[in-house]
């Protein structure tokens, strides 16, 4: 056996993004219809008329969700939303989804109908049609994969790559809530495992639980951008955490950025819950993930259009690549930001 055949590289040495880069490096886009392939929130395909935007996400029991505290209806809803969020991140309107599931006989028909009730609620809320999918058996856990298809006029599609120094960095909502909701559910699960008679103490934590269990996609922001004729220079949805997703914009746009600590939006409940868990609220906001807010940049000249937007926070600025990605703390210190994000491997 040659040395090459003996070689074994652990996935953990590459991480999720390194792995995607390595596996897809040899693929060239050969078709003129492929406007954008791998590397953004969604692919952009142009067959004439309005380009088609396509994205897909896979959710696996035990990795992305825990059925001990995730109701199936919420799971169905969330599985759709995470995909619609990627379509919105391209400044596009979601139109269609396909849904594929792998299920074991652990699940009854009634349970799967609950899952589909959540999928349907998302379809209704976002005016999206379910147009297909696939159903197969699974040896144990549940797997759900959704593909979302959207459209946008070519000139309105936003990529991760358009940010330039001087642009203003904005986010559509508060951060860290989904992560703290998850910590809360995990804590109550452990309490339950130790003593199943114990009632969960979740009564007043509705905001954080909703952020984790029933997120929304920022379609309203996409509609607002159109209404006021504002075109963000770059955009991404925050699925892995503000720091990690800002890095994606910076890498794709070949720019640096700074975030002002004092401007990072954190909900009162999240702040309070972080303290209770002895966590730093800012760390939760920077690295928590799953908030599905949009992180976008706009040209300075568009500042007024952003200011009048409902629920938008100006959190920093784009700088030269050489300046790196920085956090300006409330005490006046400057730190390099590091991407932590989710590490499944």
Non-local (6+) Cβ contacts of 6 within 8 A are none
What is the Cα–Cα distance from 3 to 340, expressed in whole angstroms?
34
What is the Cα–Cα distance from 253 to 249, expressed in whole angstroms?
6
* Bridge partners of residue 298, in order along the sequence: 168
Write down the least CB distance from residue 98 to Mg ion, Å.
18
> Between 20 and 131, whose beta carbon lies closer to ligand ADP?
20
What is the Cα–Cα distance from 315 to 133, expressed in whole angstroms?
40
Binding mask 101-140 for Mg ion (x = CB under 5 A): ----------------------------------------
Q: Which stretch binds Mg ion (CB under 5 A): 29-37, 84-92, 157-165, 270-278?
A: 84-92
> Between 248 and 267, whose beta carbon lies closer to Mg ion?
248
Q: Which stretch binds Mg ion (CB under 5 A): 57-65, 229-237, 261-269, 278-286?
A: 229-237
Which of Mg ion, ligand ADP, none does residue 38 bind to, with CB < 5 to 8 Å depending on kind? Answer: ligand ADP
Of these, 57, 61, 216, 237, which contacts Mg ion (CB under 5 A)?
237
Of these, 86, 114, 188, 302, which contacts Mg ion (CB under 5 A)?
86
> Between 82 and 274, whose beta carbon lies closer to ligand ADP?
82
The contact set with ligand ADP (CB under 6 A) reads: 20, 23-24, 38-41, 57, 86, 239
Alpha helices in 25-102 (DSSP H): 72-88
Which of ligand ADP, Mg ion, none does residue 40 bind to, with CB < 5 to 8 Å depending on kind? Answer: ligand ADP
Closest residue to ligand ADP, based on beta-carbon distance: 41
Write down the least CB distance from residue 248 to ligand ADP, Å.
8
Of these, 36, 40, 41, 64, which contacts Mg ion (CB under 5 A)?
41
User: Within 10 Å of residue 65's Cβ, how many Cβ atoms?
Assistant: 20
> Between 24 and 206, whose beta carbon lies closer to ligand ADP?
24
What is the Cα–Cα distance from 263 to 317, expressed in whole angstroms?
11
Which of ligand ADP, Mg ion, none does residue 317 bind to, with CB < 5 to 8 Å depending on kind? Answer: none
Q: Which stretch binds Mg ion (CB under 5 A): 23-31, 40-48, 117-125, 334-342?
A: 40-48
Which of Mg ion, ligand ADP, none does residue 57 bind to, with CB < 5 to 8 Å depending on kind? Answer: ligand ADP
What is the Cα–Cα distance from 87 to 98, expressed in whole angstroms?
14
Write down the least CB distance from residue 81 to ligand ADP, Å.
12
Which of ligand ADP, Mg ion, none does residue 39 bind to, with CB < 5 to 8 Å depending on kind? Answer: ligand ADP
**How do beta strands 43-45 and 34-36 pair?**
antiparallel
Non-local (6+) Cβ contacts of 118 within 8 A are 72, 73, 74, 75, 76, 77, 78, 79, 80
Residue carrying structure tokens 């993004």: 17
Q: Which stretch binds Mg ion (CB under 5 A): 38-46, 127-135, 210-218, 261-269?
A: 38-46
What is the Cα–Cα distance from 164 to 156, expressed in whole angstroms?
17
Task: State the distance between the two ends of the chain, measured CA to CA, in whole angstroms.
Answer: 28
User: Within 10 Å of residue 111's Cβ, how many Cβ atoms?
Assistant: 14
> Between 235 and 315, whose beta carbon lies closer to Mg ion?
235
What is the Cα–Cα distance from 217 to 213, expressed in whole angstroms?
13
Q: Which stretch binds Mg ion (CB under 5 A): 78-86, 124-132, 134-142, 279-287?
A: 78-86
Three-class DSSP category at 241: coil
Structure tokens at 81: 């939303």
Write down the least CB distance from residue 273 to ligand ADP, Å.
25
Three-class DSSP category at 185: helix
Phi-psi region of 20 (alpha: psi -120 to 50; beta: other; left: phi over 0): alpha
Q: Which stretch binds Mg ion (CB under 5 A): 81-89, 179-187, 269-277, 291-299?
A: 81-89
> Would you tell me which residues interact with Mg ion (CB under 5 A)?
41, 86, 237, 239
């Amino acid at each position: 056996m040659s040395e090459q055949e003996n070689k074994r590289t652990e996935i953990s040495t590459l991480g999720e993004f390194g792995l995607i880069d390595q596996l897809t490096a040899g693929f060239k886009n050969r078709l003129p219809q492929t406007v954008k392939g791998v590397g953004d929130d969604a692919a952009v395909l142009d067959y004439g008329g309005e380009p088609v935007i396509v994205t897909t996400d896979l959710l696996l029991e035990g990795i992305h969700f825990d059925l001990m505290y995730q109701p199936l209806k919420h799971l169905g809803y969330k599985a759709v939303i995470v995909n619609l969020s990627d379509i919105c991140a391209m400044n596009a309107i979601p139109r269609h989804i396909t849904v594929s599931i792998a299920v074991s006989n652990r699940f009854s028909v009634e349970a799967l109908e609950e899952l589909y009730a959540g999928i349907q609620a998302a379809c209704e809320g976002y005016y999206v049609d379910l147009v297909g999918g696939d159903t197969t058996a699974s040896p144990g856990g549940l797997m759900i994969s959704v593909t979302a298809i959207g459209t946008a006029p070519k000139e309105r599609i936003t990529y991760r790559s358009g940010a330039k120094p001087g642009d203003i960095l904005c986010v559509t909502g508060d951060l860290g809530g989904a992560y703290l909701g998850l910590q809360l559910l995990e804590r109550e699960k452990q309490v339950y495992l130790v003593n199943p008679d114990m009632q969960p103490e979740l009564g007043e934590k509705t905001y954080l639980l909703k952020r984790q269990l029933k997120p929304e996609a920022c379609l309203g922001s996409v509609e607002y951008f159109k209404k006021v004729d504002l075109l963000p220079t770059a955009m991404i949805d925050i699925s892995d955490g503000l720091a990690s997703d800002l890095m994606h914009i910076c890498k794709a746009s070949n720019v640096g950025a700074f975030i002002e600590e004092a401007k990072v939006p954190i909900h009162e409940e999240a702040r309070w819950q972080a303290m209770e868990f002895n966590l730093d609220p800012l760390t939760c906001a920077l690295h928590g993930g799953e908030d599905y807010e949009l992180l976008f940049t706009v040209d300075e000249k568009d500042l007024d259009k952003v200011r009048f937007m409902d629920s938008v926070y100006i959190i920093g600025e784009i700088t030269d690549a050489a300046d790196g990605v920085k956090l300006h703390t409330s005490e006046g210190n400057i730190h390099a930001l590091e991407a932590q994000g989710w590490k499944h491997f």
